[in-house]
Amino acid sequence: MNFISGYSRIHQGRLITPKETTVFAAADFHDFLEKAYDQLALAYPKFYKMDPLSRLGVLASEILLRETPVSNYLPDEVAVVLSNAEASLDTDLRYQATIATAPSPSLFVYTLANVSMGEICIRHGLKGENAFFVSPSFDPQWMSRYVDLIMMQDQVKACVAGWLNVLSDRYDVFLYLVEKQKRGLSEIHSAETLARLYQ
């Protein structure tokens, strides 16, 4: 059996963890991302170069892993399994618009959903297995089953998992940390728990 040690949620202008909810009075989505970045005092200028999907992933993983750090594990022992509905469509559209004049290399590199996972791995030094699934909505059944499956491997000790979706100014993020023993939130890792925490 595996356990959920902590989670982070980003939606409706809020950053949410089990311990804390921060509400931002932001003019728009872009402004919200930058206000959240300032609030967290990330000091990670690369953030500004990322696309919105990666920015959301970095913010959500930051608040998740500040409350429940994974520094006690080796880099290879932490897996990342994410999912969303729109893949990288948000950036695909902006890159597509540059093809006619000068295709933008810095936009093209973000035209893959799993690059956001790469950015999370770079930020936190995670080097375990990665998977990114695309489904119409957050699927607690599939996600819990798949994460349990990869946690059966001895070398996987923890997994950052969840839902990371954005298209234009509509965004919805729910990341959580799964471990083999109880810590922090100590909820049983199951489809029911995930559905409840995601609500």
Partner 1 sequence: MADLKVQIIEALNLKHLKPEDIGDDQPLFVEGLGLDSIDALELIVLLQQKHNTKIANAQDGPTIFKSVRTMAQYIQDHKSS
Partner 2 sequence: MGAPVHVAGTGVISAIGNTTMECFAALKQHVSGIAPLTSLNSIHKGVLPVGEVKLSNEQLAENVGVDKTLNRTALLGIHAAKEAIAHAEFDIHRWRTGFISATTVGGMDKSEIFFPPFLVDPTQGKLRDVIYHGCGATTDLITAALGITGFTSTINTACSSSVNSIMLGARLIQHGILDVVVAGGTDALTVFTLNGFKSLMILDDNLCRPFDASRTGLNLGEGAGFVVLVSDKVLEEEYLESLAIVSGFANTNDAFHQTASSPDGRGSFAAMQQALTMADLLPSEIDYINLHGTGTQNNDLSEGTAIKRLFGDAYPALSSTKSMTGHTLGACGGIETVFSVLALQHQCVFPNLRFEQAIPEVGIIPQKKFESIAVRHAMSNSFGFGGNCSSIIFSQGR
**113 touches partner 2 (CB under 8 A):** yes
Helices (runs of H) and strands (runs of E) counted in the chain: 7, 8
Contact present, 5 and 68 (Cβ < 8 Å): yes
Mutual angle of helices 29-39 and 52-67, in 10-degree steps: 30
Residue whose C-alpha is closest to residue 104's, from 91, 90, 121:
91
Show the binding pattern over residues 93-112: x = contacts partner 1 (CB under 8 A), - = does not: --------xx-xxx--x---
If contact means CB under 5 to 8 A according to the sort of partner, which of partner 1, partner 2, none does residue 99 touch? partner 2
Please give the distance of CA 95 from its chain centroid, rounded to a whole number. 22
The stretch among 45-53, 78-86, 131-139, 183-191 that binds partner 1 (CB under 8 A) is: 45-53
Q: How far is the CB of 77 from partner 1 (least distance, A)?
A: 28
Distances in Å between the Cα of 96 and the Cα atoms of 13, 50, 102, 145 are 28, 17, 10, 36
- Reduced to 3 states (helix: H, G, I; strand: E, B; else coil), residue 82 is strand
Show the binding pattern over residues 127-166: x = contacts partner 2 (CB under 8 A), - = does not: xxxxxxxxx-------------x--x--x-----------
Single out the residue of 11, 24, 34, 148 in contact with partner 1 (rule: CB under 8 A).
Answer: 34
Distance in angstroms (rounded) separating the CA atoms of residues 31 and 174: 20
Interface positions, 120-149, toward partner 1 (CB under 8 A)? none
Instruction: Give the residue with the Cβ less far from partner 1, 109 or 191.
Output: 109
If contact means CB under 5 to 8 A according to the sort of partner, which of partner 2, partner 1, none does residue 128 touch? partner 2
- Residues 6 or more apart in contact with residue 12 via CB below 8 angstroms: none
> Which two structure tokens, joined as six digits, stand for 182?
């109880």
The stretch among 3-11, 15-23, 115-123, 165-173 that binds partner 2 (CB under 8 A) is: 115-123
* Site residues for partner 2 per CB under 8 A: 75-76, 80, 87, 89, 92, 95-96, 99, 102-105, 108-119, 121-122, 125-135, 149, 152, 155
